[in-house]
Every structure is written in structure tokens, then in C-alpha cells.
Chain A
Amino acid sequence: MTKPSFVYVTYIATTPEKVWRALVDTELTRQYWVGPNSECARVNVSDWKVGSRWEHQRVEEARTVDIVGKVVESVPPRRLVLTWARPKDAEDDSKHSRVSFDIEPQGDGVVRLTVTHADLERDPQMLAGISGGWPKVLSNLKTLLETGRVLPRSPSAT
């Protein structure tokens, strides 16, 4: 196994169960992945069973699929591992990268969420596109779970 391309960590004042629900509940993924009302709102859809397909879809009539993959591990509320690919590469495992979500309780009502993205070198274009994305998704998720809202807005914005 090659070394992971990215490892991101955030500490969230919540429970492992709530983090898990945020990862697998379609409506909750819409809240933090891009933003609920944004024109480019996204959801993640699957039954989250090992071997099942998952899709990262746009919230629009056509439900355009941007990312697809398979569920590799599903251990609620501790660990979720997915493969990650462009739809045109769905059947070509050699192009798939791999994302792991590890949820660890830290005591005192704090949960450590680690996102590890590995095998991204199989798809350099995806590597370039994705590097800025995870910190935003994770800080949105943290804000959502801790405050029930997404993205604090400056006072001038409504």
C-alpha cells in the first residue's frame, strides 16, 4: 500500500453516533457537503452496506452523478471506507481511490474524525481537484453538528 495522499482531522463536540448519521443520512449530507441552498448542493446516496454502490449526486432534477464508488467497510459508528471514482471509471477498479472515515471518541463529549484519502495518484486530475475540498467539508460538518447551522456568516450577510 502506498502512503495516503491526504489525512484530515477535526475534533467535534458531539457523539460518534451523530457523526455516523451525518455521513450516511442523505438529507444531512446535503447540509454540509456544499451547502443546503446553494445551486451546487450535493448529497451522498447509498444503503451503506459493504459491497453496495454509493453516489455523490447533484441536487437537481437530473440528479447528475459526480463521484461513484463502492462501500468497502461499514462499521457504525466507528469506520466507513469507500472507493471513489469518476462515473466513467466506475467499472475500472484501477482508477479508484479510497476514502476512510474514522470516528474515535476522545472523552469529554469530543469526537475525533479522521478522513484519509489514499490511492489518489491513480487519477492525477482528481488529486488536483480534491485537495482543497476536504477541509471545507469537514469544517462545515463540525459547524453543523456543534451549532445546527452551516457556515457562520459575517453580520453583513443574511
Chain B
Amino acid sequence: MDTDKVFKALADPTRRRLLDLLHRDNGQTLSALCEHMDMTRQGVTQHLQLLEEANLVTVVWQGREKLHYLNAVPLHEIYERWIGKFERSRLGALRDLKRKLEGDDDDKT
């Protein structure tokens, strides 16, 4: 995995938004994604290209439709690298507390 590419791809609110959209509804076409994006089709294509190069998005052809999928494997590798197995439950408790206090959902960028 090219870690630099992953972090570079994540360091942009538009690309994080695209990942959020795929997280909510996996396997979308470019047109479907564009409906939620306030930018040109060409702009969205370029962002998707960077996400693909970082292996955060995978493309599957189904008939004539090009579908985009969120690929969480590189994110899992980052997670494994810095979060030990004994920290997980404590971090989970902190996350739940934060959500409760802030009324947060997982949709913020």
C-alpha cells in the first residue's frame, strides 16, 4: 500500500464527501454521485481518479454502468498500524460518549 497516496487522497473535503456518499450507498455511478456534488462532472471524475489511485475506491463494470465502491482495506491497514487491540474498547467508549454529548453522527467531515 502506498500510504502517502492514501493520506493525500483523504486530505480533501470533497474526496471525503465522496467516500461518505459511497459509505452510505455503495456501488454508485458517476452520475448518481454528481447529483450530490456541487461541482462539474469533470471535477468529480478527477477526485474519483485520485481515490482510485489510492485504492480507496474500486471500480466495477456492470453491463454498461461503471460502479464505484468504497474500498476500506487501506483504511483498515492504517487502523491496525496505530491502534492496538487493547485500546479498541476504550476508544469505542470515548467515541460513544462524544457522540452522546455532541449529538454527533458519523457524517461530519
* B27 and A11 contact, CB distance less than 8 A: no
The 8 Å CB contact of A8, one of B73, B77, B82, B84, is B73
* A4 and B60 contact, CB distance less than 8 A: yes
* A139 and B26 contact, CB distance less than 8 A: no
Chain A hits for B67, CB < 8 A: 3-4
Stretch in A44-52, A65-73, A87-95, A150-158 touching the partner: A150-158
- A133 to B: closest C-beta gap in Å: 10
Given the complex of chains A and B, what is the CA–CA distance between A116 and B61 in angstroms? 12
Task: Check A103 for interface membership: any CB of B closer than 8 A.
Answer: no
Nearest residue in A to B72 (C-beta to C-beta)? A135
Task: Check B100 for interface membership: any CB of A closer than 8 A.
Answer: no
Task: Check B38 for interface membership: any CB of A closer than 8 A.
Answer: no
* B62 and A139 contact, CB distance less than 8 A: no
- B52 to A: closest C-beta gap in Å: 10
Chain A hits for B69, CB < 8 A: 4, 6-7
Chain B at the A interface: SS class: mixed
Q: What total of chain B residues lie within 8 Å of the partner, measured CB to CB?
A: 21
Task: Check A136 for interface membership: any CB of B closer than 8 A.
Answer: yes
* A114 and B58 contact, CB distance less than 8 A: yes
Q: Using an 8 Å CB-CB cutoff, how does the interface string of B75-100 with A read, 1 for contact, 0 for none?
A: 11100111011100000000000000
* B58 and A10 contact, CB distance less than 8 A: no
* A139 and B27 contact, CB distance less than 8 A: no
- A11 to B: closest C-beta gap in Å: 7
* B60 and A116 contact, CB distance less than 8 A: yes
| 6 pairs of A and B residues whose beta carbons are closest in the complex | A135-B76, A7-B69, A154-B84, A135-B72, A3-B27, A139-B76
Binding site for B on A (CB under 8 A): 1, 3-11, 114, 116, 134-136, 138-139, 142, 151-154, 156-157
